[in-house]
Structure 1
């Protein structure tokens, strides 16, 4: 794992233990997700030599959190680096820790924000400071983003929204660690009827059965389909098997009035269209 810049450390000192009643309350809602942080009880007061009491100092990152929120509120996301966007989100998921080193560690490990949100939950928890609850919430946010992209396609003429199709497929599949074979089913207006992952395979192979592809299209009354699969290696270059499989599906579907518009291969480094390469 790459070292964090500056003085950021993952092994931040533990905060002063909270009173039992506050700990119990926090355990019931450990993340305060998308809500303002709870007002924490003041730590035990420190007695001075003259008998007066003074409150314990706030943790160093509390002021930083408010400043970062203010920058986002006043100037939007363009005023923040990627790690700061992630840090701002982690404020809500991990309210009692300095989240800057965790945000930087996630980006060091997975490379980009897309890589963070595309990573499997089990891999996210390998980063110090990220537990199962936080990993689940990060995946929930990723799923919400995918649904937003998909909603832009639902009922629209897909061939007229090709960049949206590619963007959606890339978000859904580029960072998967195993191959997936996805099918977009279209009606006679080329509007999206359904989007389904038909098969999941290994790191470099997914079994595809042309008759099952065509049967599912008939079940949905689809008149056209777009085939999509990912290459976990990151390189979307089609293999000979990819090309041959696509041609077999085309030959099986054509007599039944089902058109295969394209086969898109998704990789972290981009995408490839077999039709664009004149391979089908």
Structure 2
């Protein structure tokens, strides 16, 4: 079922005390800080963040419920700069305390930064290999909730048209998920589709892939009558990925 994307160059993918009535505002804690950083990026772009704050955000995927600021500053101090952190080896990053997932993400971001500038014209993100899709998933989807299944709709040249989450519980309500996916693909005039499962940290990739087999099979059956190609299903975990035809490791 899983034929994989056509051959080609990998796409490029960057305290006060409460009053007697109790606290007026709910505690923000690390999650509140993370939300504020995300809002600043959405409003002003990454240029509005300090170097250590960029490292903080890149650590979110590997440290889901803990303050990342101390580690971000420690990494900047140890490696000397934002660039030094991003270009450090995964082994050195892990030795400095960075989680495995984050160490892989730093490398992906460094690859993006090193990509040569494109010619002027409309920005088109090409996803024509498993490596390019994995790079996209670990860099552009870093803030998406784990456990989510996303659909990547592509044009005839494997350029990304739209990336969005499948609604509901796609791994359990397969029929509804596939019907919604096909309607969306037709509306977008998509020529191909890839599904990407952002696997939770407590789930093995092989287990997640097997759980997604009914969904992948149903998509493979529903798409051809609509002249839509199915490149396959990718399970993305801690610096690794799995598909039904290929295994990848970016540790």
TM-score for the superposition, normalised by structure 1 = 0.44
Point out the structure with max Rg over C-alpha: 1
Identify the structure with bigger relative contact order (alpha carbons < 8 Å, sequence gap 6+).
Answer: 2
TM-score for the superposition, normalised by structure 2 = 0.49
